[in-house]
Every structure is written in structure tokens, then in C-alpha cells.
Chain A
Amino acid sequence: MLRFFLYRLALVIPTFIGVSIVAFAFIRLLPGDPILLLAGERGITPERYEQLQAVYGFDRPVIVQYLDYVAGILQGDLGTSLVTKRPVLQEFFTLFPATLELALCAIILAVVIGIPAGVFAAVKRGSWFDQSIMGVALTGYSMPIFWWGLLLIIFFSGFLGWTPVSGRISLLFFFEPVTGFMLIDSLLSGQAGAFKSAVSHLILPTIVLATIPLAVIARQTRSAMLEVLGEDYVRTAKSKGLAPKRIIGLHALRNALIPVVTTIGLQVGVLMTGAILTETIFSWPGIGKWMIDSVGKRDYAVVQGGLLLIASVIMIVNLAVDVLYGFINPRIRR
């Protein structure tokens, strides 16, 4: 098992180097001189230009600059935001819990609905139930989620007035973040109504972000289940006279879930793409909105750092899923 883990880890290293090269190259690929870009509209004196070149190291060979950059990353230095002047890493960790909270709620919703829906669709294969579930799933999979979010706002916020339009919690409540998770912090604060407000802000973004993973998980569960239900051991269990519930729950589902675990892990990248759109629509103060705003404000130091950090999160989760997969399915450990 340890050897399997180390092997997988070794595979991640070249990808990480590649990701760091992409992030490093980003500022240098932008059209125009990076220093002039950093200086913005005000322009810059030639002396200050020289000075800044030395500060950023642009006067040295590219290889040296890259190695310097990597050395910085390894020490946790990802540069400073050009707008807020705060370290990029610090900004990331302030905003990341908001995205994590949203993404976790979304994936939980997707799993809790998607797996049972897929299982029932497979068991009742060909029925109207199966067909309507798969129809809904394909619609969800085809959904432009930014539009879906706007529709939900029109209906639930505009028409019914049930949920707020944006943010994480009502402005009436204020407390210091402890965990960064609004659901937990609002409970810890002890303020009456804070938790309810946090939940009402979270519902619509969660639904929007969960839509595509939910559709993918339901479809994947159904096809994995169909495959397993045709296996010999399921027929044996049936002929032994086991109750259908027991066959599906104990024999079939456990084996069908193995590929589904991988699918759930692969949704992390989908969730990050979704977070960019969802957070923009609901003004959710997470890293998706942070990245969009930084691109808009030309805060390239943040874009560079954010690219690296987000790709790293995805790689770490994928590695974890790979290892978990090896753990629950010993056949692939070799």
C-alpha cells in the first residue's frame, strides 16, 4: 500500500512542475512589458523602472527567475496582491473556507440525491421512473449553470421572496470567523437567527453548484449498477433466495460504488469551474469570485498565485481519490 502511495505521489511531481511553469509563464506571456503592466495607467519613470526590474528580478536570466519563483513557492511565498498589497497565500486562506463550505455542501447534496436516484433507475430499468430520472439528469448535465442560478434567483428571491440574492449571511450579523465555515461560526456566535440566515444564503448557490455533479453521479451510478446487476454473484444471491433489498444494498451497491468514488473525486475540477460561475452570480466571497475579480482588475500577481493554488488543490484531491481507490479496490494496487 505504501509503495502504491509513493508511486502515485511520484506521478504528481512532474505535473506540479508543469503547473508551476504555466503559472510562472503567465505574467511573462501577457502582451506588453510586465513592469509597465504592474505600474498601470500612471506610467513610470525610467529610474523607477530599473529599480522595479531589479526588485522583481526581470533583469536576470529566465531560468534563474523560474528557480527563484519555485524557491519562493516552497517557502510559502506566492507574491503580493497588486491591489490589496496583502500576501496572495494569506488572501487565499481567508477566502478558501467560503468556497470549501459551498463545494462540500454541493457535493454532499449531489451524492445524497445522485446515488439513490441512480440505483433506483438501474433497478427499475426501462420504467417511466428510470426514463424520467435519466431525462432530468441529462438536462442537468446540459445546464448552463450561470443561467440556472439566475432563474432560481428570479423565482425564489424575486417571485417568492424566500431567499436572499447574494452574500454569505445577513449584514445584521457580525462575528469574528473561527473556522471560516459560516454554518459553524454562526452557531458558535450564539446570535439568534444567525444560523438560519447563513443557511438561507447557502441554499441556492448549493443547488446551482450541485447540479452538474448530481447529474454525472446519477448517470454513473446507474450504469455501474446495471453492470453489476448482470454479474454471476448477483444471480447466485438471487437464486439463494436473498431479499432483493439485501442483494441491492449489500452485494450490488458495494461493488457498483467503486467506479462512482472515482467519479465523485473527478468532480472537484468541475466544482471549481462551477464555483467561478456560481460565486459570481451570488456574490459569494470565495476563491472563484476572487479569481474573476483579479482578472478584471488586472491583479496578475493574484491570478498567478491563484492558478497554482487551485491546481494544487485539485491535484491533491485527485491523489487522495487515487489512493482511496487503491484502498477500496485492492486489484489495482498490483
Chain B
Amino acid sequence: MTHIEAQKTEIDGQQGRPVSAWAMRRAMLSEFWYYFSQNKGAVIGLVVFSIIVFLAVFAPIIAPHSPSLQNRQALILPPAWMDGGSWSYPLGTDAVGRDIFSRLIFGARFSLFIGVVVVALSVSVGVFVGLIAGFFRGWIDTAIMRVMDVILAFPSLLLALVLVAILGPGLTNAMIAIALILQPHFVRLTRAAVLSEREREYVISARVAGAGKLRLMFVTILPNCLAPLIVQGTLAFSNAILDAAALGFLGVGAQPPTPEWGTMLAEAREFILRAWWVVTFPGLAILTTVLAINLMGDGLRDALDPKLKQS
């Protein structure tokens, strides 16, 4: 008997007695974890991501140096294991003598912050607009979806770049621009999910029982559309980190001396043929973080998508 079957009998065994909401939630959570942990990559992703979060939260304690402290005696020092390296600068120093390792740890704060803000913005706006489009249909729906088509017609990075040109360079404006280019995906997903849910019996019965429009939208329908939104949310999280780093690299995102990973790469570009470590480590940090999130995203999809569970 598999884990899930065991659980089913556990719940079915209490026939006649109503299952408490808490027990139901616990069973759902453990079912979710069962499927999520089946995907080894997802578990690795979760572990790596937890480490990055830990580093970001305790950055001031863990980092050996201040991210902005310049040491004129240690310019472009190679990593510790190479000739001329020193263990007080484990990953070497950059062109003005700042410790790369400390800057990367503080950079994790920026990347995670960007991810959280962008996802929060694009999910809240996107889900709200998508609910309206899917729930009310008619001309509102048509108008909203055409506007989303227009946003999706531009290459995402180009549109972000132009928006930042309008708003002015900087991290805040870069996040706003990235949230704007990511939210059409949430609008489309929410709308599609609402369209397939709104004619279901439970929605009709809620309507007959006298539920208001807001209650129908947010309390009745929305919780049943969450699975694809969560998966899309993880994708948006990693995309936000990548796009923000790209904008930083192009010089319109976070501005120096902020230890944002993309900005660090932009500053390091002129040294690529002289000091490989200045370029290699910030990019490796971006890749590791994005890969960890995408691995988790794959696991979430496996755990939340009932169609894939069968195969």
C-alpha cells in the first residue's frame, strides 16, 4: 500500500464522522509533500534555495567584510586557492579591492528582494485583472486581453528597458518595469482558470445561495485556480531575478556601488581577459539561484498538477 492509499483509508476510515478542516488540510499538505519529494531535483532546489535565503538573512553576520569596503592594498586579488590569493578574501577582490564573497552574500539580499517584490506586484495586479476579465466577460474582457496582447507583442527586456528610460534608471523602477512585463502571464492564466470554473456547480450553487460578486470572485472561485498560479509564480520569481540582473548588466538597473549581481558583472566586464574570477562568481550566483528556483518550480508542477500525477 502506497503512502497515499494509506492516507485515503485513514480518512475514509472515519466514515460518518465529518473530517475537520484541520485534518483535511494536513492530509492535503502531506500529499503535496509526498509528490514534491518524489522529484529529487526539486528537493535539491529547495535545499539550495534555503541556503541562499539563510545567507541573505544573516548576511551581516556571515560576510567577512563590508560589501563596500575598499582595500587599496588588495586590488584584483585572485581567489584563495590560487597563487597570490588569501583566505581573508576567499573568492578574491574586484578592481577597487572589495571582497567578492561578501558582495555576493549581500547581493543575495537584492536578488531575493527583487523576486519577492516583482512577484507580489505582478501576481496581485495580474490576478485581480484576470479575475475581472474572466468573471465579467464582454467588452471588459476583450479590452483587457487586447492590452495584454500589446504588452506581450514586445520583447520583454526591450519593453523593460524603454520603461526604465521613461521612469529613470534604478532598482525600484527596474522592479516596476519587470512586474509590468510579467503580469500579462498571470492575467491570462487567471482568466483561463476562471472561465473553466465559473460554470461549475459549486459556483452556481454559491450564486443561488446569494453570494455577492466579490465573494464569488475571491472566496469561491479564486482558491480553486491557485495551482497553476503558484507554478507560474515560481517561474516569475526566477525570471524577475534574471531580468533585473540583465537590466543591471546593461547599466539601467541597480546602480553601482550596489552589490547587485548583474551590476557587479557590468563593472567587471573590462577585466574579463585579465581576472576571470571577477566575472565568473557573480554569474555563478545568478545561475545557482535561478536554477534552484526552477528546480522547485518543476517539483511544484508535479505536485500540484493532477494530470501529471497519473503519468
Contacts and interface: CB of A to CB of B under 8 A. Distances in A.
A19 B153 contact: yes
Contact of A272 (B155, B246, B294): B155
Contacts of A292: 161, 250
Nearest to B153: A311
Nearest to A29: B166
A264 interface: no
Contacts of A143: 287, 290
A226 B310 CA distance: 13
A296 B250 CA distance: 10
Contacts of A153: 272-273
B279 A147 contact: yes
A144 B155 contact: no
A31 B161 contact: no
Contacts of B149: 14-15, 18
Nearest to A288: B158
Given A150-B279, A151-B279, A153-B272, A303 B165 contact: yes
Interface residues of B, number: 43
B283 to A, nearest CB: 3
Contacts of B150: 15, 18-19, 21-22
Interface in B148-162: 149-150, 152-158, 161-162
A186 B126 CA distance: 49
Contacts of B279: 147, 150-151, 154
A276 B283 contact: no
Contact of A307 (B157, B162, B295, B298): B162
B311 interface: yes
B147 interface: yes
A142 B273 contact: no
A14 B245 CA distance: 33
Interface in A134-160: 135, 138-139, 141-144, 146-148, 150-151, 153-154, 157-158
Interface string B85-118: 0000000000000000000000000000000000
Nearest to B284: A147
A268 to B, nearest CB: 9
Contacts of A29: 166
Given A292-B161, A310-B154, A144 B273 contact: no
Interface string B130-173: 00000000000000001101101111111001100110100000
Contact of A291 (B161, B238, B298): B161
A295 interface: yes
B62 to A, nearest CB: 24
Taking chain A's interface residues, is the majority helix, strand, or loop, or is none over half, making it mixed? helix
A277 interface: yes
B235 to A, nearest CB: 10
Interface in B265-293: 265, 269, 272-273, 276, 279-280, 282-283, 286-287, 290-291
Given A147-B265, A292-B161, 16 more contacts: A15-B146, A26-B166, A144-B249, A144-B283, A151-B280, A154-B273, A154-B280, A157-B273, A269-B156, A270-B155, A273-B155, A273-B156, A273-B158, A280-B250, A295-B165, A303-B162
14 contacts: A14-B149, A18-B150, A21-B150, A22-B154, A26-B166, A142-B242, A147-B279, A153-B273, A269-B152, A269-B154, A277-B157, A295-B165, A303-B165, A307-B162
- Give 3 nearest A-B pairs by CB, closest first: A147-B283, A18-B150, A272-B155
Interface of B: 41, 146-147, 149-150, 152-158, 161-162, 165-166, 168, 238, 242, 245-246, 249-252, 262, 265, 269, 272-273, 276, 279-280, 282-283, 286-287, 290-291, 294-295, 298, 311
